[in-house]
Structure 1
Amino acid sequence: MKYVIYTLIFLSAANTAFAQKDVQAKQILSQVSSKYKTYDVIKTNFVYTLESPQANVKETQSGTLIAKAKTNKFKVTLYTNGKTPAVAQELISDGKQQWTYLKKDNEVQLNTVSNSDDALNPAHIFTIYEKGFKYTYFGEEKKGGIACQVIDMTPTDAKKSIFKVRLYIDKAKKQIYSALIFDKNGNKYTYTMQTFMPNFKTTDAVFAFDVKSHPGVEVVDLR
């Protein structure tokens, strides 16, 4: 499971109207960022969809994100489809170590947290725009009956595997409603937020993989 939120490059010599849209995009994103930074821990339930035209694949899964941005801690859970969803995969980090749990294989991979520019930290998913992106405002659009402000983000580094992220911002709540991610292989990834719980009450134990509660799990240490 790889979280990809990172080659369209908008020319800096664009016209005045285009520049004004950039200023508006920054203002909207700053409002979103400022709001999220007031929270200690957030929890959101989301729906994740992968579309791969080359592989003729379209898959949808539900998931949960618990994030403590100030300490770079997070837990992402993806569930199986069906009447009784169960945990399929988990990505957990305590800020220093990262666990990738694959239930089907009863295996967990342990890595050191990467600080490279290519590594996406889900704890900072709501403030990702602050570094390494250009952004442009594209007006308003309704998504799921909600008035959203649409912003396109493109990485300043053309070598990135992601070439565009389209954000839909809930205009009233100043929260991210959904994110549509495009990569250079023609794949599209959509994350749509279903619920949002600010200042969610939890303990730091959530941000570490508990081997004892997973009998027989194989630990693959890749550090």
Structure 2
Amino acid sequence: MKKQLWFIVGLLFMMYSQNSYAQNDAAAKALLTKVSQKYNTYKTIQANFSLLIKQASGGSHTDAGTLYLDKANNKYQVNTKNQVLISDAKTQWNIMKAEKEVEISEASNSTNEINATNIFSFYTTGFKYTLTNAEKVNGLTLNVVNLTPVDSKKNYSKIKLRINKATNLIYDTTIFDKSGNRYTYTLASQQGNKALSENLFVFNKNDYKGFDIVDLR
């Protein structure tokens, strides 16, 4: 099976807040609560993102795309140059354009893994957290929280979450996997409560004529 670009780390890249933080750092907890409250006001989100992969070997890879999320119904579409992921909350379609192949699998709505439905709220459970020094990027002041998974069996050792101080919106997320690779997702723009067409979350095979269909369910 070909790996999905949207969390190529081997994770599924964790929107329902559970508001149960693991432990540590009251200042970090207060900040994450503000971020969670901000995103909880959104029923839908459209976000443009970029991905930077820095490999332990020194190589790198970049990509960019758009995430459409119907938070209330756990539906999403992730669209990049080479790949489209569509989920109607029951089924996921992984469309690989270059390979002209579509993989069909059951949608994962687990809160125990990072996936497209909870990228904005994965930090609310299962982590130890500390607030570190703020950073400046492109004139923005970013608060920085380092997250360490409580479950040591996770295949990543740390997540660095940077939050726009002025808006309490996530600026970027960097995942440090145990093999030495780093995956940084930067949210270039975010629009909350935007009207999204239901067609975004429906796979239409007529749009992909000539593609091989592989059903993994």
Structure 1 gap ranges (5+): 7-11, 13-18, 80-87
Given the alignment of the two structures, is residue 33 of structure 1 paired with residue 36 of structure 2, yes or no?
A: yes
Bigger helix share? 1
Question: Which runs of at least 4 in structure 1 moved beyond 6 Å after TM superposition?
Answer: none
Cα RMSD for the two superposed structures: 1.6
In 1, distance between residues paired with 2:70 and 2:32?
20
Partner of 1:188 in structure 2? 182
SS in 2 for 1:216: coil
In 2, distance between residues paired with 1:115 and 1:197?
23
Given the alignment of the two structures, is residue 206 of structure 1 paired with residue 200 of structure 2, yes or no?
A: yes
In 1, distance between residues paired with 2:53 and 2:134?
24
Residue among 47, 66, 74 paired with 1:44: 47
In 2, distance between residues paired with 1:122 and 1:116?
11
1:116, CA displacement in angstroms?
Answer: 4.9
Residue 118 of structure 1 contacts residue 160 of structure 1 at CA under 8 Å; is this kept in 2? no
* 1:85-100 equivalences in 2 (<5 Å): 88-100=82-94
Given the alignment of the two structures, is residue 125 of structure 1 paired with residue 119 of structure 2, yes or no?
A: yes
In 1, distance between residues paired with 2:111 and 2:36?
20
Which deviations, in whole Å up to 9, do the C-alpha atoms of 1:142-196 show, x marking residues without a partner? 1222101000111110000111110110000000011111000100001111111
In 2, distance between residues paired with 1:150 and 1:212?
45
Residue 146 of structure 2 contacts residue 161 of structure 2 at CA under 8 Å; is this kept in 1? yes
Aligned-partner residue type, residue 46 of structure 1? F
The two structures have a TM-score, normalised by structure 2, of 0.87
SS in 2 for 1:173: coil
Given the alignment of the two structures, is residue 102 of structure 1 paired with residue 123 of structure 2, yes or no?
A: no
In 2, distance between residues paired with 1:153 and 1:216?
44
Structure 2 gap ranges (5+): 15-22
* 1:106-185 equivalences in 2 (<5 Å): 106-116=100-110, 119-185=113-179
Aligned-partner residue type, residue 213 of structure 2? V
Residue 72 of structure 1 contacts residue 121 of structure 1 at CA under 8 Å; is this kept in 2? no
Which deviations, in whole Å up to 9, do the C-alpha atoms of 1:122-161 show, x marking residues without a partner? 1211111112111110021112221010001111100001
Residue 165 of structure 1 contacts residue 180 of structure 1 at CA under 8 Å; is this kept in 2? yes
Number of aligned residue pairs: give it: 201
Partner of 1:85 in structure 2? none
Partner of 1:9 in structure 2? none
Residue among 57, 73, 76 paired with 1:74: 76
The structure with the larger Rg is 1
1:208, CA displacement in angstroms?
Answer: 2.3
Aligned-partner residue type, residue 43 of structure 1? Q
1:114, CA displacement in angstroms?
Answer: 2.8
1:121, CA displacement in angstroms?
Answer: 2.3
In 1, distance between residues paired with 2:109 and 2:196?
25
